[in-house]
Amino acid sequence: MRFEYVAVLASLVVAAIVPIAFLLVQWALGPRRPSAIKGEAFECGNAPSGSAWGRFSVKFYLTAILFIVFDVEVVFLYPWAIEFRSLGMFGFVEMLVFVAILSLGLAYVWRKGALEWE
């Protein structure tokens, strides 16, 4: 075995042992007094209302997906901003194309009314 990988192996061993140890300690020392109140769903201090299997509007999921799509654009803008000078004009034009495509996507979903919350 190569000595360069000993640290990785040690990390994997610790990553496997720690959660198992936590579960065993909780099982051994944790209280075991179930009750109806403990088994009830907790909603921020309010009494539960309705079924936990309620349906959400498709607009909720659409808004969440659109948030993720347009939030990912920021993840790509940070490295570009850091390396802006070394990328030169090619990097600038590539980022303009990227932002233009995302802007077209935003205009499309805006025109379709996907950002309207009723």
80 within 8 A of 44, measured Cβ to Cβ: no
Closest by CA to 67, choosing from 105, 118, 99, is 105
- The dihedral through the CA atoms of 42, 47, 52, 58 has a sign that is negative
Tens digits of residue pLDDT in 61-110: 888 888 888 888 888 888 888 988 899 999 999 999 999 998 999 899 88
80 within 8 A of 26, measured Cβ to Cβ: no
Q: What is the pTM of this model?
A: 0.51
Tens digits of residue pLDDT in 17-35: 999 999 999 999 988 888 8
Domain 3-112 listed as CATH 3.40.50.300: no
Q: What is the pLDDT of residue 32?
A: 85
